[in-house]
Amino acid sequence: MASPSGLRGRRGRAVAAALATVAVLAGLGVASGTAPTANASTARQTMACAADGFCEDFESQTGGEPTGRWSVEARDCSGTGTVTVDTAEAHSGTQSIRVDGGGGYCNHVFAGTSLTDTDLGDTVYVRFWVRHGTPLPDAHVTFAAMNDAGDADRDLRMGGQNGALQWNRESDDATLPEQSPDGVALSVPLPVDTWTCVEAQLDGAAGHVATWVDGELVEGLVADGDPTHDVDSQWLGRADWRPSLTDLRLGWESYGGDTDTLWFDDVAVGSSALGC
Ligand code: CA
């Protein structure tokens, strides 16, 4: 659906709320003006879309490279990787974004969108559904990156290492969890050939991180300000880290030679919990 997030101010937000409701109802096949039959999670998503962030189901994309609030981006250098609107796989409706991620550092490729048109506060929730075909490798990879204006415009990265999900801070290469065997064991793999719901809470006031996979909090992907060996003691070595996110990019960055094919759908960003 088209994002209403460009509308500003109280009246703009009211219009945005109405548009988002119509869009969600349309997606459910419910005519505007009739009682919604949305379940609780859809209602939460609707609220978050309307209030301060955006949501995107990619159904209004017309094929080829993503357009609208999205563009194909490669921060440092690019190669064979591609991002296209896909009609073969979808979490909702009939369309998603497909990323063919190549191996090697210069295969950065992402579907990116700015967050500067949102009314987000210090705490940002990012939720997306992802499907991919190759288990997370031993080498470091990234499939979601966010420019952190609070960290000299370096990236906050979500991806994998040692076969499990991790956060990585580009500025100092800190990882969450620490990449010890005990730390990695407190994270989880990203399942293959199925849609998985990933949600992160990034608290820019406290410098905290929390991460849910299919609605379950992942112990190894939490930085709570209280250093825990194998989890966030390395991460909290930068006690002054306070994320201030200005964009969201979904795609592929491979620091080894690993490739993957990934699909993303039902992306939402807001300042309250989004759910799956
Ligand atoms: Ca979709």
Query: In the prediction, which pLDDT does 105 show?
Result: 87
Residues 6+ apart with CB under 8 A from 14: none
Query: In the prediction, which pLDDT does 187 show?
Result: 98
Whether 35 has a pLDDT exceeding 50, the answer reads: no
Cα end-to-end distance, the chain, whole Å: 18
**Pairwise CA distance, residues 187 & 217, whole Å:** 10
Whether 206 has a pLDDT exceeding 80, the answer reads: yes
Whether 115 has a pLDDT exceeding 50, the answer reads: yes
- pTM, full prediction: 0.83
Torsion of CA 20, 69, 85, 65, to 10 degrees: 160
**Pairwise CA distance, residues 74 & 72, whole Å:** 7
Distance 27 CA to ligand 1 centre (A): 10
Distance 147 CA to ligand 1 centre (A): 25
Task: Identify which has the larger pLDDT, 7 or 133.
Answer: 133
- Residues 247-273 have pLDDT tens digits of 999 999 999 999 999 999 999 999 999
Query: In the prediction, which pLDDT does 167 show?
Result: 98
Distance 60 CA to ligand 1 centre (A): 9
**Pairwise CA distance, residues 182 & 58, whole Å:** 38
Distance 265 CA to ligand 1 centre (A): 5
Distance 45 CA to ligand 1 centre (A): 14
Distance 92 CA to ligand 1 centre (A): 4
Residue 40, judged by CB atoms within 10 A of its CB (0-12, 13-18, 19+), counts as exposed
The stretch 73-77 carries a mean pLDDT of: 90
Average the pLDDT over each of 34-48, 106-120, 145-159, 162-176 and give the range with the smallest value: 34-48
The stretch 56-66 carries a mean pLDDT of: 96
The stretch 93-114 carries a mean pLDDT of: 96
Query: In the prediction, which pLDDT does 44 show?
Result: 42
The stretch 167-183 carries a mean pLDDT of: 98
Distance 33 CA to ligand 1 centre (A): 24
Q: Give the chain's mean pLDDT.
A: 86
Query: In the prediction, which pLDDT does 76 show?
Result: 86
Task: Identify which has the larger pLDDT, 42 or 221.
Answer: 221
Compute φ and ψ for 198, nearest 5 degrees: -120, 130
Whether 18 has a pLDDT exceeding 80, the answer reads: no
